[in-house]
A and B are shown apart, each in its own frame.
Chain A
Amino acid sequence: MNKRDSIKNIIDSRLSNLKLNDEFESKVLSKANKPKTIKKPLAIAVAVCLFIMLTIPVMATAIPSFTALVSLLSSEVALMLQPIESVSEDNGIKMEVVAAMNDDETAVAYVTMQDLTGDRVDQTISLDIFSITGASMFTNEVIAYDEKTKTATIRLLANGGRKLNGKKVALRVNSFLSGQHKYNEVETGVDLTGIHKNVETIPLDMNNIPGGGGMLFETLKSKSTIQILKTDKMDITLPGIDFVHISNIGFVDGLLHVQLKWSETSINDHGYVYLTDASGNIIYPSNVSFGTDESGNTKFGNQYEEDIFDINSGQLGEFKLKGYFVTYSGYIQGNWETTFRIEAVAKSKQADCNIDLGNLKINSVSISPLGVSILGDNKGNRPDDIDISVIMADGSVQEFNSTTTYTDRGNFTRKYMPNSPLAIENVKEVIINGVIVKFN
């Protein structure tokens, strides 16, 4: 076999599960035979937009799911919503994208999941593999659950998009979890004073791990390779928990490492250990996830999590090691997908600027009901010392409850999202590190 055959065989073997499904041809043909959309003059398009905007309340009353959703939300949010009502059904479960709202970087979709045949959807549902095309960072939270209809209403937030407004997007869900059970303040029973300082370690390639987090993570990541505890040197079971155990503990390079091993049947179970003292002070860990091969060498995977604490060994006597873990009894897979166009109900406003923050040059600020975005060019490390204030016309300062940062090939976007839609007509100015960007 020559190299050509070999490479082809390796790709085909590794990707053998990538196959077009039986419906592929009919999808192509149905798209090909769709009547062409006739481009209407701009004036007509504007009139249509106005018509849609003005008739949303009428449409809303005609769409029960939309009406039901509106009843769950504040009037400020409801006013921003675009009714979608797009349904996909698979595996006895119906997904409906009820409504959405968006600006250029962010889309919020309200989705219902209903089990038509059983009890697989509950109030603890968490979407597992899901996406909205054109965006990159996703979170989801259940905002309501109707036991009678076994329907969960989920708010899906997608960030990191570019020029999303007006785009046709696909919302896909391929799996979700349900039957969540949380284990709080799990006593590990570990005597921290007896922890070894001379332990066997193995290298971990920080560029080949699925993820990690915490205050130490960036420092660890910058080292490319770090030492972690050799796996499976201990087997400390946790009371009432069979999906995870402590597989090693020790000091590595002056940091306390606690290694957790998830059971092989564990899907998306998660959690961490933490340190707590008599006063109730808690020290949370940084963490890295990894797997191992048959020889015990690390490789890409999720079977282990190493929780790492920056704590002096002399202080350990004051602390107890406790755990917080979450498990799910249901893991449901399917293919739920709908396509729809997202159109912002309210326009964004943008102001150009030229603010030099060293590694970051901010060149524009945009405001929309979903929040304030600062856009610029980022060279080097992400800046974390941006001080932003949004001043309203009445002199009040707008507060934000979440921030998302996204860097793509040097293009920097940071979005500040408020608790409720921002009244952009009342935004007077945005002050970034002392520089005023006027809006009104």
Chain B
Amino acid sequence: MISISVPNENTALNISSLISEYGDSLFRMCFLYLKDIHLAEDAVQDTFLKVYKSYPQFKGNSEVKTWIMRIAINVCKNYLRSTWWKHVDVAESLNDIPADAGIEGITDNTLVLEIMKLSPKYKEVILLFYYQEMTIKEISLALNIPDSTVSIRLKRARERLKLNLEGWYYDE
């Protein structure tokens, strides 16, 4: 059963708390999706702009998070569609972002690079499931595709990652 929350229409949108709660993770997700830090920044800004402007029309048919993710994924898709698209060296793109030396355990870019290399339809399910920690049902609402399609894409995306991350990847 889908968890549905209905926002109080009399309550003004607290954009500040939404940015604080989802901003950084959206920024990172958009970067992995678009493979370009500047486009990702623009995409997050567009996402919150749309959230701010269309909140009065938000019917509460899904969790706010699902709604925001749906907007973000659509913004990213539009960026891919509306701009010419260049071949991006994902390693170079990731290399532009310095890793935080203070964080232990991250010694290579393997997983992040492999996720960036996935095609958009596999990348989006991986990012929403693993990174945004959404359920299959929530992802189906966010992407407007059937649950079964989400499951199949997730399975195929996992297989691709498993193939490319041999020796690194493990099953649950």
* A interface residues with partner B (beta carbon < 8 Å): 2-4, 7-8, 10-20, 24-25, 27-29, 31-32, 129, 131, 133-134, 136, 160-163, 170, 172, 208, 210, 300-301, 408-409
Contact = CB atoms under 8 A, between A and B. Distances in A.
A90 B95 CA distance: 24
Contacts of A19: 24, 27
Given A11-B111, A408-B85, 5 more contacts: A3-B171, A11-B28, A19-B24, A20-B27, A210-B95
Contact of B86 (A2, A16, A408): A408
A152 to B, nearest CB: 23
Contacts of B40: 18
A170 B39 CA distance: 10
A131 B23 CA distance: 24
B85 A18 contact: no
Contact of A20 (B19, B85, B171): B19
Given A18-B97, A29-B52, A134 B84 contact: yes
Interface of B is mostly: helix
Interface residues of B, number: 51
A7 B131 contact: yes
Given A32-B49, A210-B95, A300-B91, A24 B86 contact: no
B78 to A, nearest CB: 14
A160 B98 CA distance: 27
B122 interface: no
A360 B48 CA distance: 43
Contacts of B91: 208, 210, 300
B19 A4 contact: no
B48 A28 contact: yes
A15 B111 CA distance: 12
B64 interface: no
Contact of A24 (B23, B28, B97): B23
25 contacts: A2-B172, A3-B130, A10-B112, A11-B32, A12-B25, A14-B106, A14-B112, A15-B31, A15-B97, A16-B100, A18-B97, A20-B27, A20-B44, A24-B19, A24-B44, A24-B45, A25-B19, A28-B52, A29-B15, A29-B52, A32-B52, A160-B84, A161-B84, A170-B38, A408-B87
Contact of A300 (B16, B48, B95): B95
A85 B136 CA distance: 50
Contacts of B105: 13
B122 to A, nearest CB: 14
Interface of B: 15-16, 19, 23-25, 27-28, 31-32, 37-42, 44-45, 48-49, 52-53, 83-87, 89, 91-92, 94-100, 103, 105-106, 109, 111-112, 115, 129-131, 133, 170-172
B172 A3 contact: yes
Nearest to A299: B108
A134 B27 contact: no
Contacts of B48: 28
Contacts of B83: 133-134, 162
Contacts of A136: 84, 86
Which among A11, A27, A162, A300 has the greatest number of chain B C-beta atoms within 10 A? A11
A109 B40 CA distance: 24
B154 to A, nearest CB: 12
A408 B85 CA distance: 7
Contact of A131 (B38, B94, B99, B100): B38
Contacts of A17: 97-100
A25 B112 contact: no
Contacts of B85: 408-409
Nearest to A172: B38
A301 B91 CA distance: 10
